[in-house]
Amino acid sequence: MNTTRRTLLAASALAPFVPRAHAADVTFRFHQMLPPQATIPAKAILPWGQKVEKESGGRIKVQHFPTMQLGGRPPELFDQAKDGVVDLIWTVLGYTPGRFPKSEVFELPFSTGPAEAGSRAFQAYVEKNAMDEFKDVKLICVHIHGPGLFHSKDPVRKLEDLKGMKVRGGSRVINIMLEQLGATPVGMPVPAVGEALSKGVISATTIPWEVTPALKVQQIVKNHTGFSGPKGLYTQTFAVAMNKGAYDKLPPDLKKVIDANSGMEAAALFGRAMDDGDKAGLELAKKAGNNIITLDAEETARWRRAANGVRAVWFKEVGDKGLDGPKLAAEAEAFITRYEKK
């Protein structure tokens, strides 16, 4: 027997006792628009994926593809999940205007405060009122961000300062609001905000604190304007969605793993990450010596009155689609009140 054969036989005999790395039964590609260090990728998507992998006993692997690495543009993410281009996505619902009219109600001005409570409320609202808007995917969860504010080159200290200012709006409803407040809305996905501010395409942006570090907004502009009270001027709505075919192909025990990581607690995870990110973003702006403005109660009330018209516009628009806007708004407000009290 030659040496090579003896070596192979010995290795074969020992093989059952040598630890091996087992390949996952299924690998899911999770696609989204932000860099990996941003709040949601680092503090929500990564732990969500790790939890799924652990609870599946390693039979599911979640591969994360940030910054649109698998191609396309941010507004295409939902369809990428629907069509099976990717397996999982995180997206902003407002990037596809008019597609999620029932969900838009959470974007009405001065509706929500902290993101975890608001995300729980949004998840409960969608499960009761708007699951038909997600019928083409396996919905993992929906969520919102924390109180919305302005980040601007020139300080915004009163409503009149916004007049004519080119401001990035992240959704159709937010753009309607900006028009009502006297600004000139400029729609764009959040990854484009930093460059647009640097080049003067816009003079201000509507984003929460949590995403400012990833976009370096606190380095580009030095003024940040928020509002008195627990509610933010605006919020945006988000979804984590899975391709239905990818889910349907799973064996029952692995479907249970996905189901256990969907719904209310997943929504809370993403909302909690937003709240923590808001604190971190605010601290960085303070360390940079930026101008942090909080409008007093009287001035905030002026903005509330100016933004009231958004509801009337939205009620008419969704009414034209056969939806009862006031009823949906009342449902949303009831859920928000319930979860903010907990």
**Per-residue model confidence as pLDDT tens digits over 236-287:** 999 999 999 999 999 999 999 999 999 999 999 999 999 999 999 999 999 9
Q: Where are the alpha helices (DSSP H) in 68-203?
A: 77-83, 115-129, 172-180, 193-199
| Domains identified in the chain, total number | 2
Say what the pLDDT of residue 22 is: 57
Average pLDDT over residues 297-304: 97
Provide the domain limits for residue 142.
26-146+235-277
pTM for the full predicted model: 0.91
* CA pair distance 28, 199, nearest whole angstrom: 37
Give me the sheet containing 137-144, strands edge to edge.
60-65, 26-31, 88-92, 237-243, 137-144
**pLDDT for residue 335 is more than 50:** yes
Classify residue 290: in a domain, yes or no. Answer: yes
Classify residue 220: in a domain, yes or no. Answer: yes
At 336, the pLDDT band (50, 70, 90 cuts) reads very high
Do residues 191 and 295 share a domain?
yes
Q: Which domain CATH number covers 289?
A: 3.40.190.170
Q: Quick: pLDDT tens for 122-169.
A: 999 999 999 999 999 999 999 999 999 999 999 999 999 999 999 999
Q: Quick: pLDDT tens for 154-211.
A: 999 999 999 999 999 999 999 999 999 999 999 999 999 999 999 999 999 999 999 9
Q: What tokens appear for 105 in the block?
A: 């109600």
Classify residue 336: in a domain, yes or no. Answer: no
Say what the pLDDT of residue 102 is: 98
